[in-house]
Structure 1
């Protein structure tokens, strides 16, 4: 199997379960991968680059450990990936613009019991006031989360307090709060358009269909966004979802798409997404 810094840990394990032991042997940080509960929640989101950042390791360390199991770098050169840029926390020092008011969210128990805290975090962010920061109390640095919340205008600050205690602050500056208001306005303006029956009639026979109801977060949003470039001219994407994906809508607006929603029943939402 060819791999790169962007390869998901779940793909490695699916290809060869011995990848768990190989990665765990890099350093003690990766022993958490042996925990089936944490592995279920994190493996599908974390790339090799993410894991390297979390464990303070080098991407090349992963290739060196995985090569004996039949994994090969895409460019066939371990040395060529040593300079791969790894997603990182934005600052090691406390930022001057970090709000003093903090809303705490301890997700350690959720992770320990196998509950995915992603929705809890997103809901907490949605309720933050302009002068507040969200403090996530966790056992590791949530690197995969940074790129997701950055698209919503959030900065991050990570403070490692021990081997199994990490404080992650997510917050917006005043400027980024203003961006959120502008983003919401754009999203609302894009939403105004065809009713669901009108859109269904307009694109009859020209629909591509995806079902994200059984996918774990954030895979529904990722699946939908990855499907949009595959649309042919005058086609629409028909999405089966469990809820109206509020965090997806600004992303659609940015890409020039409009949408129509049909909340058919509890936990049953249908969306039609099309070029505005």
Structure 2
């Protein structure tokens, strides 16, 4: 007998993470819709992606209709309110008071060109004064940025008023957080780690993939990694968003740049005893 949700209303704008949080059985229901959604069974990918993807986004990715989601989720007690299936999305009910706008960055073209706007955003954030806010314009909610900028003393407010148009405001409120764990492995050089794991290296090449496929493929490969193995990644840039996820999930990494637009990552799980002693 399946566990049902008590008539939770959903729309095309409801995030997948909200649905899963209300009823974890939704993972298998959504995964059964399309092969693209089978990645939800991977807890690492699920945590990273589900919070930024709505039903409308998922339907677009899977080449299906939002009505398919509504019909499938009925069995769990979800009820469609049929709101938000057009381009207009209801605005949040309340907006916090934050400082006047100081910097605006539209990163849509940068991402569309396959480039990473991370450095540009961080550089702009560091120039922002206490009495200013920064607006990031994107096609999706920049979830990885939240943790990165929170450690620098920023909080955020996100407003999605149209499909594929997300405005995220960052502004300073607190002192920067201290990081307990350092992500890059400074004690072991790339060459030394490569030699250490030479018989247990798993290689993947993400150089020709469009964003966000490189990050998804790397996280999926890490989920399958055994404690004795390390992941060797061929990349064309340093994936700053990914590095923050690795640090948060207890992975260490080393980076080599053998040439222009050539990046090599070696990623491995930090042993539990080292993790607790950090």
Q: For this structure pair, what is the TM-score category when the shorter chain's length is used for normalisation?
A: 0.5 to 0.7
Q: How far does residue 191 in structure 1 lie from its aligned partner after superposition? A: 2.7
Check if 1:105 corresponds to 2:129.
Answer: no
Whether the aligned pair in 1 keeps the contact of 2:253 and 2:268 (CA below 8 Å) is yes
Question: How far 1:136 moved relative to its partner?
Answer: 4.0
Aligned with 2:248 (options 246, 254, 261): 254
- Does 2:232 match 1:238? yes
Question: Could you tell me whether the CA contact under 8 Å between 1:203 and 1:236 is conserved in 2?
Answer: yes
> Is contact 1:136-1:168 (8 Å) kept?
yes
Is the contact made by 2:141 and 2:158 (CA closer than 8 Å) also made in structure 1?
no
Q: Distance in 2 between matches of 1:116 and 1:158?
A: 21
Q: Which has the bigger relative contact order, CA under 8 A and spacing at least 6?
A: 2
- For residues 248 and 256 of structure 1, the distance between their equivalents in structure 2, rounded to whole angstroms, comes to 13
CA distance in 2, matches of 1:199, 1:273: 9
Question: In structure 2, what is the Cα distance between the partners aligned to 1:257 and 1:251?
Answer: 9
Q: Is residue 51 from structure 1 mapped to residue 57 from structure 2 by the alignment?
A: yes
- Residue 181 of structure 2 is matched in structure 1 by 186
5+ residue gaps, structure 1: 13-44, 55-59, 68-72
Q: Post-superposition shift, 1:257?
A: 1.5
Which SS does the other structure have where 2:227 is aligned?
Answer: coil
Deviation digits for residues 228-275 of structure 1 (CA, Å, limit 9, x no counterpart):
121112110010011222222222122221112111111111111112
Is the 1:155–1:172 contact (alpha carbons within 8 Å) kept by the matching residues of 2?
A: yes
Deviation string for 1:75-117 (max 9, x for gaps)?
7x45634389xxx999442212x23243123467x49xxx717
Query: Any conservation in 2 of the 1:135–1:170 contact (CA below 8 Å)?
Result: yes
Aligned to 1:248, what secondary structure does the other structure show?
helix
CA, structure 1 residues 135+8, in 2 after alignment: closer, same or farther (shift >3 Å)? farther
1:124–1:134 Cα contact (<8 Å) kept: no
Distance 1:9 1:105, change over 3 A: farther
Match of 2:112 in 1: 116
Unmatched segments (≥5 aa) in structure 2? 1-26, 38-50, 82-88, 271-278
CA contact (8 A) 1:157 1:169 kept: yes
Between the aligned partners of 2:90 and 2:245, the Cα distance in structure 1 is: 23
Does the 8 Å contact 1:6/1:47 carry over to 2?
A: no
In 1: Cα distance, 2:101 partner to 2:268 partner: 41
Contact 1:94 1:157 in 2 (8 A): no
Contact 2:236 2:261 in 1 (8 A): yes
For the structure 1 residues 260 and 156, does the alpha-carbon distance in structure 2 shift closer, same or farther, using more than 3 Å as the test?
same
Q: Is the 8 A contact 1:207 1:236 kept in 2?
A: yes
RMSD, matched Cα: 4.4
